Structure 1
Amino acid sequence: MSIKQYTLDNGLRVILAPVVGTDTVSVLTFVRVGSRYEYQKINGSSHFIEHILFKGTKRRPTAQHISRALDAIGADYNAFTGKNLTGYYVKVDKSHLELGIDIIDDMLFASKMDADEMNRERGAIVEEIHMYEDNPMMHVSDILEEVMFEGSSLGWEIAGTPKIIQEVDRDEIHTFYKKYYQPSNMVLVVSGNIDRKVNTWIEARFGKRKNSKEELTGFESFIQHAPHNKPLARVQNKETEQIQLAIGFPSFGIQDPRNPALSLFGIILGGNMSSRLFVEVRERKGLAYFVRAVNDAYEETGNFMIRAGLDKKRLDVATTTIMKELRKMVRDGVTSAELKAAKAYVQGQMAIRLEDSFERAQWFAREKLFHTSVRTPEMYLKDIQTVTVKQVAEVAKAVLDFKQMSVVAVGPFKNGEELIKQAGL
């Protein structure tokens, strides 16, 4: 079924994306703000706001009023913060769509931001930060982006630091919230089994919200580091039996037309159990349980990352194996059979994922927020199908620039120099 796009008088962009054969509907709002929009003193505020919007509104004065209203209808609901967006969603039975729209609108625009509630939440956020820091598999990606994007807010922790969270002023957070939580800075997507009254319900809630007089400001673009002969390196010193390693290369911005080829390259290199890294590192040599290649794209750059959980006694063998595969990719490219299989993999995974109304809502919200025009999944798959072996080879050479490589690890290392030495880099 085709989507419908329109814009409310206050600038809120709306997409309706019907899904056939489901009894659920998802309501998702993206706000174009995240940690890279912050200044140092309030780093973590976007994530703090995400937490506090669940703590009560004028009509639903406590967190329990919000959660009970949603739990009473069996809703799935949550929120998440990134470096360039914050998202809020509810997924409900189709008969409760109006309530879902009402609650998301209420949370976004009528939060009490109670000072006492915020002070209580500081401790919870600090413990969340500690949880991520104590989980090497999760934390190693954050360390990598700190190194790769050092000197830019793009390299900052999304949740901030415990010190900032304990000290940041409520009024500064509130000012930041009022600046960015404007209808004109949001995208609303309703996806699934959509009631015919949806436009009326959206207009009655979101349509009544006003933009503030605060001028939206962006962020300073990341400037790529000068070429370097040795990898930029950093470690989190931690006694572990398994080393969590991450190797990163700057890649392309969100709108770069080379991204479909990069996606296919990542799949062939380390995107599934048939990939080169999985076969060589795990299946043939037994050096890791987990090894994967992923790409995260931001506005002006990206992070192409290889992650692995490795036996610390054979770290040098594992890194040598990984680097051999990377150099082989640069030298020889990929085969037509590998490319054909990767295209089929993308198509199959997208079909599975986009059966879910929430996943479909995310697709369209990201398209609307970050692209000049909205591509449907079908349009994207057409782009995937046109990628050639030559284009993948060109992408491999462009991204795998070893003079721009960064490497980080969580494990028993004193510093980055020791990591480089033990890894044989």
Structure 2
Amino acid sequence: MKLPASFKEFARCRSTQVIEASNGARCVVCPNDGSPFAYIFAAVRTGVRYEDRGEWGASHFLEHVAMRGTEKFPALHDLSRCAEGIGGQISAYSTRDLTAYWVRVPSGLEALGFELLQQVLFKPLLTQQSIDSEREIIIHERQRELADYGIFVSHAVESLLLAPNPMSRPPVGDDAGLAKMDSAYLRAFHQRIYNRSNLVIIGCGNLSDDFSKCADDFWQSVPYGSLIKPANFLIESEYPDGSVILKPSGPEEQAFVSMGWRFPVLTHKDLRTWRVINTLLGAGYSSLFNLELREKNSLTYTCRTAINVYDGMGVFKLYLSAHVKELPKVISIVENIIANLASDSLEENIFNEAVMRHAAGVVSRWSNPSETAPLLGHSLSRDGVVFDFAGYLNGLEKVSKARAAELASKWLNPVDRLVCLSGSAEELKTLFPNTYQF
């Protein structure tokens, strides 16, 4: 199929560039003069993908504490005021394979943006007081995820599907790991990982003429160091493929469900196809799951799908909530929709509309600097390549319904599926007698 000419023209005009600092370090930029802001995005190659057995949770913990105070900004409040007081913002987040710090400043104030990032990345105080305080906050974060059954089943199914890879561990860590975090430990962890080899910098938005000099000055302050290597051990899963796993949540009639499948991602072509499958099945009101489960049968308020890829392993998951007694019907509908896709019985125009919706979503992200920056940062940190926007759109035009059917037939089947449920144990065990219990 052909995408709109306006999409192609937009891709041609909004290309990325690589600027090189005087010491050889690189920064990828994607200018967008239509924004009043400049966005600077830093991704550090870290996370549970790289954490050894005894380091679980250190990357996420360090992200929290690095924002708690630096040499120039001794508290998070001071750091935030500096950014927000001039109309900007600074924040951070962790995934399974990177930690991101980003700052937004009005165009022309990139020097301040780089200074804020330099302070957080390389001048954190890491005091014992801030560590003890942040430990309590992270414990609250863990408790929130455990108490929110919807979040729990969604995160749990992904972790279980990623086993035996060390990335199957949730980034937040466990009680034992959190308890041992102290200033000396985090300083050593920080010194080993936060260096030029593990850092990528992205600039997006309305970048001023001074951006290149600001980036050069920043890179001069970044220490050299070794490239971190992925953790090299296996984590055995307690649950075989095809399992139904239950976390009891009391007598509520509402159940939270997450179904997931894993699959290898061997080519960029297949990755694009999987992303179209995700859009087709569960992205937006036009998706097949939403049409059948919500619009036609009123079985759920919302259903969503997501696809995540880590180190060549993909996870596709569906999340929804429904009345406990309706779950067999829900699962039957999901299986029938996937079977229809896998048998290549889907109408061509339905599939092409999903390609169009996915392409429009990518174009929308590329038009917004706050979304372009992480897209580029994740690609460069994970794969070592600059995301090729125009090439991605060209590739979408070649995604075929037949290949989508092949992938669905091979990987999206009940034998390889994991189901995580949270709800009334009595009701769910009656419906699914062979469940495992968390």
Do these two structures clear the TM 0.5 threshold for a shared fold by scoring above it?
A: yes
Kindly provide the amino acid, as one letter, of the partner of residue 242 in structure 2.
P
> Residue 421 of structure 1 aligns to a residue in which SS?
coil
Map 1:23-422 to 2 at 5 A: 23-212=36-225, 216-220=228-232, 231-239=242-250, 240-253=252-265, 256-413=268-425, 420-421=432-433
Query: TM-score scaled to structure 2, two decimals?
Result: 0.89
- Partners in 1 of 2:429 and 2:24 — Cα distance? 51
User: Contact 2:45–2:198 at 8 Å: present in 1 too?
Assistant: yes
- Partners in 2 of 1:284 and 1:415 — Cα distance? 25
User: Contact 1:27–1:188 at 8 Å: present in 2 too?
Assistant: yes
- Partners in 2 of 1:222 and 1:81 — Cα distance? 22
Aligned CA RMSD, in angstroms, stands at 2.6
User: Contact 2:31–2:204 at 8 Å: present in 1 too?
Assistant: yes
Kindly provide the amino acid, as one letter, of the partner of residue 352 in structure 1.
S
Q: In structure 2, do the counterparts of structure 1 residues 260 and 151 end up closer, same or farther at CA, with 3 Å as the change threshold?
A: closer
- Partners in 1 of 2:327 and 2:385 — Cα distance? 45
- Partners in 2 of 1:226 and 1:121 — Cα distance? 31
User: Contact 1:149–1:222 at 8 Å: present in 2 too?
Assistant: no
- Partners in 2 of 1:419 and 1:167 — Cα distance? 42
> Residue 316 of structure 1 aligns to a residue in which SS?
helix
Q: What displacement does 1:215 show?
A: 5.7
- Partners in 2 of 1:283 and 1:329 — Cα distance? 19
Q: What displacement does 1:353 show?
A: 2.5
- Partners in 1 of 2:107 and 2:292 — Cα distance? 47
- Partners in 2 of 1:275 and 1:20 — Cα distance? 34
User: Contact 1:234–1:415 at 8 Å: present in 2 too?
Assistant: no
Identity %: 20
Q: Name stretches of at least 5 consecutive residues in structure 2 with no aligned partner.
A: 1-13
Deviation digits for residues 281-337 of structure 1 (CA, Å, limit 9, x no counterpart) = 111111111112221111121111111111112111111221222222222353210
User: Contact 1:53–1:107 at 8 Å: present in 2 too?
Assistant: yes
User: Contact 1:227–1:403 at 8 Å: present in 2 too?
Assistant: no
Q: What displacement does 1:205 show?
A: 2.1
> Residue 219 of structure 1 aligns to a residue in which SS?
coil
Q: In structure 2, do the counterparts of structure 1 residues 81 and 148 end up closer, same or farther at CA, with 3 Å as the change threshold?
A: same
Q: In structure 2, do the counterparts of structure 1 residues 315 and 4 end up closer, same or farther at CA, with 3 Å as the change threshold?
A: same
User: Contact 1:42–1:168 at 8 Å: present in 2 too?
Assistant: no
- Partners in 2 of 1:186 and 1:10 — Cα distance? 14
Kindly provide the amino acid, as one letter, of the partner of residue 188 in structure 2.
T
Partner of 2:4 in structure 1? none
User: Contact 1:27–1:191 at 8 Å: present in 2 too?
Assistant: yes
Kindly provide the amino acid, as one letter, of the partner of residue 349 in structure 2.
A
User: Contact 1:10–1:210 at 8 Å: present in 2 too?
Assistant: no
User: Contact 1:254–1:370 at 8 Å: present in 2 too?
Assistant: no
Kindly provide the amino acid, as one letter, of the partner of residue 142 in structure 2.
I
User: Contact 2:52–2:231 at 8 Å: present in 1 too?
Assistant: no
User: Contact 1:347–1:381 at 8 Å: present in 2 too?
Assistant: yes
Give the number of aligned pairs.
421
Stretch moving more, 188-197 or 29-38 = 29-38
Deviation digits for residues 58-107 of structure 1 (CA, Å, limit 9, x no counterpart) = 22223232122112112122111000111010112113221011101111
> Residue 38 of structure 2 aligns to a residue in which SS?
strand
Q: What displacement does 1:354 show?
A: 2.4
- Partners in 1 of 2:107 and 2:136 — Cα distance? 37
> Residue 234 of structure 1 aligns to a residue in which SS?
strand
> Residue 354 of structure 1 aligns to a residue in which SS?
helix
Q: What displacement does 1:403 show?
A: 2.5
Kindly provide the amino acid, as one letter, of the partner of residue 189 in structure 1.
I
Q: What displacement does 1:419 show?
A: 6.6
> Residue 56 of structure 1 aligns to a residue in which SS?
coil
Q: In structure 2, do the counterparts of structure 1 residues 381 and 190 end up closer, same or farther at CA, with 3 Å as the change threshold?
A: same
Stretch moving more, 185-194 or 203-212 = 203-212
User: Contact 2:128–2:182 at 8 Å: present in 1 too?
Assistant: no
User: Contact 1:12–1:187 at 8 Å: present in 2 too?
Assistant: no
Query: TM-score scaled to structure 1, two decimals?
Result: 0.91
Q: What displacement does 1:39 show?
A: 2.7
User: Contact 2:246–2:421 at 8 Å: present in 1 too?
Assistant: yes
Q: In structure 2, do the counterparts of structure 1 residues 11 and 290 end up closer, same or farther at CA, with 3 Å as the change threshold?
A: farther
Stretch moving more, 344-353 or 306-315 = 344-353
User: Contact 1:235–1:415 at 8 Å: present in 2 too?
Assistant: no
Q: Name stretches of at least 5 consecutive residues in structure 1 with no aligned partner.
A: none
- Partners in 1 of 2:341 and 2:181 — Cα distance? 47
- Partners in 2 of 1:363 and 1:422 — Cα distance? 41
